[in-house]
Amino acid sequence: MRTAAIVLIGNELLSGKVADENAIWLIGRLRALGVQLRRVTFVADDAQAIGDELIRVTTQVDDVFTSGGVGPTHDDITIESVAAAFGVPVVRDAELEALVRGHFGERLRADHLRMADVPAGSELVHGGEIRWPVVHFRNLWILPGVPQIFRAKFDGIADRFRAGAFFLRSIYLDADEGEIAPLLRRVQAEHCVEIGSYPRIDRAEYRIRVTVEARAAGPVDDAVAALLDGLAVAHVVRIDPAAGSAE
């Protein structure tokens, strides 16, 4: 199973001055691609903190996606932080420099060219209709924080991460979690599935949504059948009729 982490960089996120939009969007996209997300982290504009987090997560998952800190201002320190953490210099990429110069033209300032800097050893990955490539360093994918650009850049490379679908069914219950906990524990132990239990207090129709998911439809259907065998009929409000792709 392909795994991933998201690292969101910026003081503005931690102070609440800017509400993050990228993580919740990318969570859905990774899910649709069949990638198992293992971690989402917020990190301040601090080179040591950024580096420490990236060193840690890059050893734990297949792909790490960063968001933010790649512009021309003083607090855009993602590139420098990555380079320092992995012990490589920052270099100016000729292709990115040409793009920056072409984009800004007569408005170009020296700080704009910081957007052409990359950690040595990076590759530029092109995809989709956007002209600006994604900087890829080891298993890091360095993305901007601006949501529209973040989404466009990821969508341009998304097919690289396609890993098959998750299959999901839900059972909606009028029951108490304590009553069904032993059954959920037993069925998960006996089947190759992941079972979740999510109580709701704002739905008159049901009190618990139980989800069953796996990388294939068969185990999901088998586990749902085992759950229904163990549940009181009066507790079952409704069930999804068949395993479907979980996006």
Quick check: 34 and 165 in contact, CB under 8 A? Answer: yes
Please state, in angstroms and rounded to a whole number, the distance separating the CA atoms of residues 169 and 240.
6
Report pLDDT for 245: 64
Q: How many CA atoms lie within 13 A of 233 on its CB side?
A: 0
Give the model confidence (pLDDT) of 85-129 as tens digits: 999 999 999 999 999 999 999 999 999 999 999 999 999 999 988
Nearest-CA neighbor of 246 among 4, 30, 25? 30
Return the domain boundaries, the chain: 3-161, 167-245
HSE-CB of 181 using CA atoms within 13 angstroms: 5
* Dihedral (Cα; 217, 221, 222, 226), 10-degree rounding: 150
Reported confidence tier of residue 204, pLDDT bands at 50, 70, 90 = confident
The encoded tokens of residue 31 equal 């899910």
Contact (Cβ atoms closer than 8 angstroms) between residue 145 and residue 26: no
C-beta separation of 189 from 180 below 8 A: no
DSSP 65-84: EEES--SSSTT--HHHHHHH
Q: What is the pLDDT of residue 202?
A: 84
Contact 215, 164 (CB under 8 A): yes
The pLDDT score that the predictor gives to residue 241 is 83
- Mind listing the pLDDT tens digit for each residue in 217-227? 999 999 999 99
Q: Looking at residue 247, what is its pLDDT?
A: 58
pLDDT of amino acid 1: 84
> Collapsing DSSP states into helix, strand and coil, what is residue 11?
helix
How far apart are the C-alpha atoms of 83 and 120, rounded to whole Å? 7
Give the three-class secondary structure for 119.
Answer: strand
Out of 2.40.30.20, 3.60.20.10, 3.40.980.10, 3.40.309.10, the CATH code matching 3-161 is 3.40.980.10
Q: Which residues pair with 212 in a beta bridge?
A: 169, 195
Contact 234, 195 (CB under 8 A): no
Give the global pTM: 0.91
Which numeric CATH code is attached to 167-245?
3.30.70.2860
Which string of b and e fits 204-226 if b means at least 16 CB within 10 Å? eebbbbbbbbbbebebbbbbbeb
Give the whole-angstrom CA distance, residue 124 versus residue 137. 9
